[in-house]
Amino acid sequence: MKRIFSGIQPTGNLHLGNYLGAIRNWVGMQQDFDFNCIFCIVDLHAITVPQDPAELAANTREVTAAYIASGIDPKRCIIFNQSMVSAHAELAWVLNCHAPMGWLNRMTQFKEKAGKRRDAAAVGLFAYPVLMAADILLYRASDVPVGEDQKQHLELSRDIAGAFNRHYNCEAFVLPEPRIFGAATRVMSLRDGTAKMSKSDPSAWSRINLSDDADAIAQKIRRAKTDPEALPSEPAGLEGRPEAENLVGIHAALAGVDEAAVCREFGGRGFADFKAALSELAVEVLSPVTAEMRRLTADPGYIDGVLADGAARAGAIASVTMSEIRKVVGFLTPRQGA
Ligand code: AMP
Ligand code: TRP
């Protein structure tokens, strides 16, 4: 059986890159996977770096609202926050005992996030990819849609699943396939076409947040970095022009066309014209999503209800896997033990 699992950390500043590179693709996958989809808000992952408790809670609701506002159907898919299903932490522990330090030492995201002060990083930040493996393996997900940056973590999940199955000579875990979305959905910073648009960029001008209103979107596009040349009439002319390439890529992704079509339409015209058209398009595509997000976040009771319902449904699947894993590992269950 095909099943999708994916997740986003509730760490604030949800942006256009998250929308075009992740959430929007998931919306399109719902039907393909017969609504056998699980979309998680990974709050256990979020606390691998310090978080303010009130903000963590607000950001968890914000990501939930973004999923629903973008078109993920909470009745037909499972939407929940990770910490509500304790099996994630439980399976992560078991997998921690099967993941060699050497494998984790190779993870580039840990090196980036820990920086020079590796000794000061939390053990949880080091074990982050094992928790991610637990998320996926718990539901025996067959397909995991993620961005290019998560590919290494996904390969590790497959390695851990394989090592566990071999160690216990069982087939408890399904090896998940990565579904990496193409380069067209790699959205770059509006201030620097060589850096990814990111939640953690200190400049608010670098990203379009899903909480921005029409004026903010237009202002940010107007101030986006460009070069003095006119737009090229074909994509080859974007080479060596990262900012131009990014804006053309964003336009193409928002319009659902390829970069060649955008170049055909705007080739020879200056950035002032192009930015005006881009901001109109961005507002047209994003404002229904952002408006719906605002409406949903104003109703935390509804959001919390979706999460509670999702957690109950996720928990039911997870507990079946966990009882099998407990047996495989040799843990006595309360009933057997009593
Ligand atoms: P993060 O914001 O790093 O928690 O990522 C959440 C999801 O959004 C992941 O699937 C990422 O691959 C995707 N994502 C994050 N930033 C971008 C970006 N600038 N362009 C495209 N996808 C992105
Ligand atoms: N690490 C992922 C990210 O930063 C988020 C994540 C956690 C995830 N668990 C997952 C993604 C399981 C896919 C499947 O984007």
199 labelled catalytic:
yes
What pTM value is reported for the model?
0.95
Render pLDDT for 238-275 as a digit per residue (tens, 0 to 9): 999 999 999 999 999 999 999 999 999 999 999 999 99
Residue 144 near ligand 2, beta carbon < 6 Å: yes
Residues with Cβ < 8 Å from 208, sequence gap 6 or more? 15, 16, 190, 197, 216, 217, 220, 221, 282, 286
- The whole-number pLDDT of residue 243 equals 97
CB 83 within 8 A of CB 131: no
CB 306 within 8 A of CB 64: yes
Q: What number does the ligand 2 atom closest to the CA of 147 have?
A: 15
196 labelled catalytic:
yes
3-class secondary-structure state, position 295 = helix
pLDDT band at 310 (very low <50, low <70, confident <90, very high): very high
Render pLDDT for 63-96 as a digit per residue (tens, 0 to 9): 999 999 999 999 999 999 999 999 999 999 999 9
Residue 9 near ligand 2, beta carbon < 6 Å: yes
Could you tell me how far CA 322 lies from the centroid of its own chain? 25
Residue to probe by mutation, ligand 1, list 6, 11, 14, 18, most atoms within 8 Å of CB: 18
For 241, other C-beta atoms within 10 Å of its C-beta total: 17
For residue 82, how far is its CA from the centre of ligand 2 (angstroms)? Answer: 11
- The whole-number pLDDT of residue 186 equals 86
Name the phi and psi angles at 5, rounded to 5: -130, 135
- The whole-number pLDDT of residue 149 equals 86
**Which one is catalytic: 199, 220, 275, 327?**
199
**Residue ID of nearest Cα to ligand 2 atom 15:** 8
Residue to probe by mutation, ligand 1, list 13, 67, 149, most atoms within 8 Å of CB: 149
Q: In the predicted model, what is the mean pLDDT of residues 162-178?
A: 97
Q: What percent of the chain has pLDDT over 70?
A: 98
Distance CA 7, CA 85 (A): 14
Render pLDDT for 88-140 as a digit per residue (tens, 0 to 9): 999 999 999 999 999 999 999 999 999 999 999 999 999 999 999 999 999 99
Render pLDDT for 216-241 as a digit per residue (tens, 0 to 9): 999 999 999 999 999 999 999 999 99
Q: Name the closest ligand to CA 180.
A: 1
Task: Identify the helix (H) or strand (E) that includes residue 177.
Answer: strand 177-180
Q: What percent of the chain has pLDDT over 90?
A: 93
Residues with Cβ < 8 Å from 60, sequence gap 6 or more? 10, 41, 43, 81, 307
**Which one is catalytic: 196, 220, 225, 275?**
196
Q: Name the closest ligand to CA 139.
A: 2
